[in-house]
Amino acid sequence: MKVLVPVKRVIDYNVKVRVKADGSGVDLANVKMSMNPFDEIAVEEAIRLKEAGKVEEVVAVSIGVKQAQETLRTALAMGADRAILIVAADDVHQDIEPLAVAKLLAKVIEEEEPGLVLCGKQAIDNDMNATGQMLSALLGWSQAMYANKVEIEGDHAVVTREVDGGLQTVKVKMPTIISTDLRLNEPRYASLPNIMKAKKKPLDEKTAADYGVDVAPRLEVVKTAEPPTRKAGEMVGSVDELVSKLKEAGVV
């Protein structure tokens, strides 16, 4: 079986995000970018399935600017076998919306015919949490989102999902789409020797036009703003004073 793992190049989780002066979005110029952490978990899971003998090939796909090939190299260094880059934007500030991503992935899936798609549950830049579900709808495949545990049993996947209030285990028929949650695994470091070897692994470069998918945005960003800064606190002398202050503030 072949596994397809979509990976997104996002602002690094360590970077203190700043909103652009004109409020049109987040400033990404000269900012450190890396693989979306949920996608890293997906890559790790795919590699573990391969190591366990359940999977023959792991293919990583990224959609975005040309520099996303660095993100794919990371996936290859972790252990993916080959990669496909779909260049769909010239400017790092141009976000490709989930529907366009899902349509492109659907085309890739037509060609590649994987038995399983493992994707991050969401990307930490826009927190859309939509691509996996849309892809499932476009393909008519089953889906198991927010996976905490994945087991392949013949032509089914048994997936434990993180849901409100606990864990839910579902059995889905393959081919299927599984999105990964934070606790599924702890991704490995791509070792230095594997980083160097990854250069020799195949990385196909395509464009959105090759697949005939229109990636023009359908959503309009009205405004992007930083969260309000926290107001200074105030020391109170007694519980009574605290209570009266809270009443003044209208919170009790």
Partner 1 sequence: MPAVNRADLDFMLFDWLGAERLTALPRFAGQSAEDYRAFLDLAERLAENEFLPTWKPSDSAEPALGADGEVRLHPGVRDAVRAYLDAGLQLATVDEAHGGMQLPITVGTAAMACIMAANIAASGFPMLSQANARVIAAYGTPRQIELFARPQHEGAALGTMCLSEPEAGSSLGDITTRARPAGADEAGRRFRLTGRKMWISGAGQDITPDTIHLVLAKIENDDGTLPAGTKGISLFLVPRLLPEIAPGGSGPNDLAIAGLNHKMGYRGISNCLLNLGEGTRHRPGGEAGALGWLVGEPGQGLAIMFQMMNEARINVGLGAAALAWRGYLLSRDYAFERRQGRPLEDRRAPAPVPLVRHPDVRRMLLAQKAIAEGALALCLYTARLADLAATAGTEEERSRAHARLDLLTPVTKSWPSEFGLEANHMAIQVHGGYGYTRDFDVEQLYRDNRLNPIHEGTTGIQGLDLLRRKIMGDGGAALAALLEEVRATADRAAAGPGAALAPGLRDAAGALEQAARSATGAADPVMPLAHATAFLHAAGHVVVAWLLTDMALVAGAPEGRLWAARHFHDTELPRVAAWLAPLGAGSRAALDAPDGAL
Task: Break the chain down into helix, strand, coil percent, rounded to 5.
Answer: 30, 30, 45
Say if CB 132 and CB 118 are below 8 A apart.
no
- Does position 233 interact with partner 1 (CB under 8 A)? The reply is no
Q: Which of 127, 164, 189, 251 binds partner 1 (CB under 8 A)?
A: 189
Say if CB 84 and CB 110 are below 8 A apart.
no
Q: Which of 30, 127, 164, 225 binds partner 1 (CB under 8 A)?
A: 30
Q: How many CB atoms lie within 10 A of CB 70?
A: 13
- At residue 128's C-alpha, the angle toward residues 25 and 119, to 5°, is 125
- Does position 171 interact with partner 1 (CB under 8 A)? The reply is no
- Does position 190 interact with partner 1 (CB under 8 A)? The reply is yes
Nearer Cβ to partner 1, position 70 or 155?
70
Say if CB 154 and CB 41 are below 8 A apart.
no
Q: Which of 70, 155, 226, 241 binds partner 1 (CB under 8 A)?
A: 70
Strand partners, 147: 161, 180
**d(C-alpha 228, C-alpha 68), whole Å:** 32
- Does position 77 interact with partner 1 (CB under 8 A)? The reply is yes
Q: Which of 73, 103, 161, 201 binds partner 1 (CB under 8 A)?
A: 73
- Does position 74 interact with partner 1 (CB under 8 A)? The reply is yes
Nearer Cβ to partner 1, position 167 or 196?
196
Nearer Cβ to partner 1, position 1 or 31?
31
**d(C-alpha 8, C-alpha 37), whole Å:** 9
- Does position 196 interact with partner 1 (CB under 8 A)? The reply is yes
# of chain residues touching partner 1 (CB under 8 A): 17
- Does position 126 interact with partner 1 (CB under 8 A)? The reply is no
Stretch near partner 1 under the rule CB under 8 A, chosen from 67-75, 82-90, 175-183, 204-212: 67-75
How far, CA to CA in Å, does 108 sit from each of 4, 47, 122? 9, 20, 20
The residue ranges that bind partner 1 (CB under 8 A) are 14, 30, 32, 34, 70, 73-74, 77, 189-196, 199
